[in-house]
Structures are given as structure tokens and as C-alpha cells.
Amino acid sequence: MRRLLHTLTIAAIALSLAGCSSGPAQQPTTTPSSSTAQPSTPENEVAGQSANSPDSGSSKADQLCASQSESSDAEVCVLTGLAVDGNLTFESFTVLKLIDMTIDGSLDATASQEIVITNATVNGNVALSSGGGAVVKDSDINGNISVNNARNLTFVDNAVNGNVECLVSNTHGSRNSITGDVSGDCTELR
């Protein structure tokens, strides 16, 4: 156990030092194999796939969860600190948590119990569907956002440069900046 902790500590220090290097910035790339793509930059950037790529949308999201999730449970995906180029579609998780992320594309997420998006930037539209709860906090959405089928929605300290539409049972929110229209059960979220 001590060796494992020692190894993990050394790896974390090495990654921290690599992120502080003063050398030229590297362009993000992915491994061209059919297995899960690993980001090659210390900033955890994931190169985008073209719209014609077989690795777009849901397969990219599945790859990220398989290789980068902080949870060992296959039904729970917890992604932290990633920058992703392109659209992401999450479809098969019980719990989905996206923390400190930047997504240069749209986000479509379905989870049977819970979706949490915290301190994220999405440069596209967001569509969330959760049988349980959804939390969007301290995030910038540069597009429209829709939340459907959630029993509870918590929406706090967000900037939305688009419309907000909700079809949920209960909404809780405050301190949101919304430039577009607000409709459905979201009318109290401004």
C-alpha cells in the first residue's frame, strides 16, 4: 500500500511539474489505436474528432469515462479538469459528474439518477435528462440549455448566453445571468 501511495505521489508531482514547464506549448493529440485515447498534454486536453469520425459524440464520451473517470464503478462517470474539443453525448450512466471542464461543442447527457455540472464551460448547447436530480453550478453555457425529466434541478451562479427551458418537478436557483428566454419550470431561475 505504501509503495502504491509513493508511486502515485511521484506521478502527481511529475504531472504538476510538466504543467509548469516553460517550453513551447504542445498541440493535443490522441493515440490512433482502437483502444481508449489518452490525452498527450499535461493540461488533460483531448483532441477533437471531426464530424465524420467514428469517435464523435457518444463514443468519445464513453472513451473519456473509461479512461479518465475518477470512479471505479462502470455506471458512474466523474470527469475533472478536462478540456474537450467537440460534442459529447453521455447516455448510459447512473451518475454523471463533470467538474472543472471545458467543452468546445455541445453536451447531451442522460443519467438515471444524477447529473452534476460544476465550474464548467460549454461552448455549445446543453441538453440534460435525469430521472433523479440535476445540478448546474458556477458554469458558463454559451448556447441554450434544456433540462427534462428531472425530479429536482438546482441551478446556481451560472451564465447562460442563450435560452433556458425546463420540464422538471422542482427547481431551485439563484444568481444566474441568462441572456435569452426562460420557459417551462425554469421561470424562477434568473
Q: pLDDT tens digits for 147-169?
A: 999 999 999 999 999 999 999 99
0.85 cut: is pTM over it?
Answer: no
Give pLDDT tens digits for 66-93: 999 999 999 999 999 999 999 999 998 9
Average pLDDT, the chain: 79
Rounded to an integer, what distance in angstroms lies between the CA atom of residue 136 and that of residue 178?
A: 13
pLDDT bucket at 190, cuts 50 / 70 / 90: confident
Map out the domains of the chain as residue ranges. 44-184
Would you call 99 exposed, middle or buried from its count of C-beta atoms within 10 A (0-12, 13-18, 19+)? middle
Rounded to an integer, what distance in angstroms lies between the CA atom of residue 47 and that of residue 29?
A: 5
Rounded to an integer, what distance in angstroms lies between the CA atom of residue 149 and that of residue 170?
A: 10
143-149 LR contacts (CB < 8 Å, sep 24+): 143/106, 144/180, 147/186
128-141 burial code (b ≥16 CB/10 A, e <16)? bbbeebbbbbebeb
pLDDT above 90 as % of the chain: 66
Q: Please enumerate in sequence order all residues whose Cβ is within 8 A of that of 109, keeping only pairs 6 or more positions apart, or say none.
A: 88, 89, 90, 96, 98, 115, 126, 127, 128, 129
